């Protein structure tokens, strides 16, 4: 009996670690719950219950008496779809019987410890290039490509630095969008830029919470109302911060 209880705890640890990595990396709520339940079922625990929100995971297993329940807190979230894909791969290998419990736990711990983030300057360069391309996509002129590229890069750089000093996304996004608006206005004022609206639209696209909006809609469609609404509210606050930062600049023109 004691050995069975211990094994149940080990299985729950694997399930929660997989769910934690996926949720922290931008995975959808329903995908996290489905992955945890599939892993538990593969290791012989058919009756499991999970409740996942953007800030926490509650997981319960009925493999031993009494029912065991664990809770973990999610304090930081980012976008790392590579880790989501790696956890999905581990989950499929568990379901096919290729991985034992200890091997699965070790692989998940290794995935959790990985730092797959691109180098800082690569992120800034990608944000700059994306800003210029978005500006063209929104029917801007090629003579505004360089101003949009510079504004977007400096804006994203500002977002990263502001977030280090003020670890609240709303304020860092507000200040970054303010910098973007100010830079765009300066470029137009000195004659380098021409279409202020197109430069601003292209530059702020790197701050727009596209994945968050997509996950919010998918969670709502899957019936996860709490997660869907909370992610939607977070996306709304980000959009409001971006709009407010630009509005402050435009109000002084």
What pLDDT score was predicted for residue 174? Answer: 94
Triad 217, 47, 82: Cα angle to 5°: 45
β partners of residue 58: 51, 71
pTM over 0.95: no
What pLDDT score was predicted for residue 5? Answer: 65
Quick one: average pLDDT of 20-33? Answer: 89
Quick one: average pLDDT of 169-196? Answer: 90
- Identify which has the larger pLDDT, 7 or 113: 113
pLDDT in tens, 141-178: 888 899 999 999 999 999 998 988 888 888 999 999 99
Percent of the chain at pLDDT > 70 equals: 96
Contact 219, 154 (CB under 8 A): no
Distance CA 112, CA 80 (A): 11
What pLDDT score was predicted for residue 29? Answer: 87
pLDDT in tens, 101-121: 888 989 999 998 888 788 888
pLDDT in tens, 53-106: 888 899 988 755 667 788 888 888 888 888 999 999 999 999 888 888 888 989
Instruction: Report in angstroms the alpha-carbon separations of 195 from 8, 145, 161, 183.
Output: 62, 10, 28, 13
Distance CA 104, CA 17 (A): 10
What pLDDT score was predicted for residue 64? Answer: 55
pLDDT at residue 7 greater than cutoff 70: yes
Cα four-point dihedral sign 89, 130, 122, 212: negative
Q: How would you list the strands of the sheet with 48-53, edge to edge? A: 48-53, 56-61, 68-73
């Amino acid at each position: 009996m004691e050995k069975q209880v211990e094994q149940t705890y080990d299985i729950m640890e694997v399930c929660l670690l997989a769910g934690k990595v996926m949720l922290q990396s931008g995975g959808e709520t329903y995908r996290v719950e489905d992955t945890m339940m599939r892993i538990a079922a593969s290791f012989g625990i058919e009756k499991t219950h999970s409740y996942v929100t953007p800030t926490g995971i509650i997981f319960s297993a009925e493999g031993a008496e009494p029912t065991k329940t664990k809770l973990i807190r999610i304090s930081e979230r980012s976008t790392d779809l590579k880790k989501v894909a790696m956890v999905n791969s581990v989950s499929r290998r568990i379901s096919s019987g290729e991985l034992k419990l200890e091997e699965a736990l070790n692989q998940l711990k290794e995935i959790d410890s990985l730092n797959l983030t691109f180098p800082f300057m690569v992120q800034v360069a990608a944000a700059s290039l994306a800003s210029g391309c978005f500006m063209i996509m929104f029917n801007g002129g090629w003579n505004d490509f360089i101003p949009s590229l510079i504004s977007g890069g400096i804006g994203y750089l500002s977002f990263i630095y502001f977030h280090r000093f003020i670890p609240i996304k709303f304020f860092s996004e507000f200040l970054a969008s303010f910098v973007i608006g100010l830079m765009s206005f300066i470029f137009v004022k000195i004659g380098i830029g021409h279409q202020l609206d197109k430069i601003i639209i292209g530059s702020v696209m790197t701050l727009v919470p596209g994945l968050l909006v997509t996950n919010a809609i998918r969670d709502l469609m899957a019936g996860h109302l709490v997660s869907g609404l909370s992610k939607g509210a977070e996306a709304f606050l980000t959009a409001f911060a971006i709009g407010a930062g630009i509005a402050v600049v435009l109000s002084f023109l």
